[in-house]
Amino acid sequence: MGKKHEMTPEEARDLFAELDASGVLDPDDAPGCEQSSRGIFGSRRAKKRAAKKEAQRAAIDPLSDDDPSGSQVSKTISRTAVLVIMGVFVFVLGMQIVYGVSRRLNTANLSDRANAETVSHAMDSGVEWGNGFTQFPREFTVNEASEKTGTIEVSVVDADSRNELELLSNSQIQASALATNALLNEKINRVVYNVYALVDDSGAFQHDSLFGFLPARGARRAMLTFVWTKTQSATPSNIDWELKIIGMDDDLAEAIQKQVNSVSSLAEDPGATQAEIDEDLRLREEEAALFFE
């Protein structure tokens, strides 16, 4: 049995020189191309191929601590994440600006013109109030809106309030916003805001649930009516506005008073009592009498 031939270092180098960086045989180094690689031109091509392979080996260095694969994956991921976050921020900010501009463009201005169409639009889209907007109940009716008679009257069904106190608070804000917007019109002198509530058989308030997806159901019951009137004051530079609340009977007033007291009782410090107020007033009167003596 013949002795196994041991490969010399030069033969090993030549053998592995035929492989490119990916471990595939380079067709330019194939045996069939050996004859064409001889001579001065073949030597130049061999040098070029050797330089190319050396560059590939330098580009992909598995032992490199900085970037073994030769890519910039971490930097690319970081750059992409920053761009995505900035894109989301710009999108949200743009949507808020568009929403605010759209709300202002769609908000009705009853001080310029008041009729059934503009009042219905105001009840549907809301009116400006303070630094924001005031929305009205989803179910409403425009009973009257005429600049000839100078009267605007609407009726709403409150399906958000849970009790009489919430109904009074919410309705008063809504009526004030509508009246303020409408009474700035020189031809409007009276605004009537009728409020109804939905109640069950026991008289308990019914309200929407699940963010309004489940509407309230019940019998409609008249609760309050806010009447705003505008009259010319005795002083030419002044205008008198008057508010009258109709429907505040003894039962409703008692229910609201109980709910106010129940909320006030949650406070730790109820404040000064009536006896303390009277005693302080008596001491002030005695000090005043001693001062003038």
Strand ranges (E), 26-67: none
Distance CA 133, CA 55 (A): 68
Task: Look at the alpha carbons of 265, 268, 274, 277 in this order and tell me if their dihedral is positive or negative.
Answer: negative
pLDDT digits (tens, 9 = 90+) for 23-65: 555 555 555 444 444 444 455 666 666 666 666 555 555 555 5
Helix 164-183, helix 116-125: angle, nearest 10: 130
Domain boundaries, the chain: 110-262
Task: Look at the alpha carbons of 181, 184, 188, 194 in this order and tell me if their dihedral is positive or negative.
Answer: positive
Contact predicate 206/199, CB 8 Å: yes
State the CB neighbour count (10 A cutoff) for residue 146: 15
Task: Look at the alpha carbons of 17, 19, 22, 28 in this order and tell me if their dihedral is positive or negative.
Answer: positive
Residue 218 structure tokens:
């019940």
What pLDDT does residue 154 have?
96
Q: Global pTM?
A: 0.58
Burial of 67 (0-12, 13-18, 19+ CB in 10 A): middle
State the CB neighbour count (10 A cutoff) for residue 151: 18
| β 151-158/139-146 pair status | antiparallel
Helix 164-183, helix 250-264: angle, nearest 10: 110
Residue 95 structure tokens:
């949507």
pLDDT digits (tens, 9 = 90+) for 145-158: 999 999 999 999 99
Contact predicate 262/254, CB 8 Å: no
Quickly state the pLDDT bin for 287 (edges 50, 70, 90).
Answer: confident
Mean per-residue pLDDT over the chain, rounded: 76
Contact predicate 69/60, CB 8 Å: yes
pLDDT > 90? residue 284? no
Of the two residues 62 and 125, the one the predictor is more confident about is 125
Quickly state the pLDDT bin for 174 (edges 50, 70, 90).
Answer: very high
Question: CA neighbours within 13 Å on the CB side: how many for 140?
Answer: 24
